[in-house]
Amino acid sequence: REIDGLEVGPNDVVIGIATGGTTPFTCAGLERANERGAMTVAVTCNPRSRLESAAKAPIVLEVGPEVYDGSIYFSAGTAQKLVCNSISTAAFARLGQVQDRHMINVRAESAKLQSRAEGILVALGGCTEWEAAETLAAAGRQLLDAVLMPRAGSNRTPASPCLETVGPDGHAGLFEARIVGRGA
């Protein structure tokens, strides 16, 4: 029902995570996503489980015995977290959300994120901290817009038109912004 409600289809990837590989909701979700043509991935620590069988791309982690008897979640949880971090890191890079090892599609909605976004602007743009703060403010605290603005020859208008042309891919947006900035 959840998979149907999300209108999952052939252009989607559904990842099911269950240490034992038997959680009914997770297994049923992957099975339904398969029926709807989605790419399915299982992350489990139990070989030959229902979840592994349901996935087109199963990832089965062999974590060995726990230090303490009675729980499989200490080592398994850590291993599964590493896999999830790797998947999300690869996805961000593949979607063009990373530039020179920096996340560039960040909404600086807190002081911590604003400071991080300004540091990224300094690193990528070779500007001062003050210039980074000004550019980020002019971009409505949208780091990707702030990164694209100077390349598009704009110091006030966010570079969203470049992204409208190419979609949310930051790399393509940077390329488009360079073209716009040259007046091509």
Against a cut of 0.85, is the pTM above it? Answer: no
Tell me what pLDDT residue 155 has.
Answer: 52
Tell me what pLDDT residue 18 has.
Answer: 93
Bridge-partner residues for 6, per DSSP?
none
User: Within 13 Å of residue 100, how many CA atoms lie on the same side as its CB?
Assistant: 9
Length of the chain in residues, anyone?
184
Tell me what pLDDT residue 150 has.
Answer: 61
Note whether 82 and 97 are within 8 A (CB). Answer: no
pLDDT tens string, the chain, 184 residues long: the values are 889 999 999 999 999 999 889 999 999 999 999 999 999 999 999 899 999 999 999 999 988 777 777 665 778 888 899 999 999 888 888 887 887 888 888 888 899 999 999 998 888 877 788 888 888 888 888 888 888 776 545 554 444 444 444 445 554 555 444 434 434 3
Q: Report the distance separating Cα 141 and Cα 154, nearest Å.
A: 15
Tell me what pLDDT residue 134 has.
Answer: 86
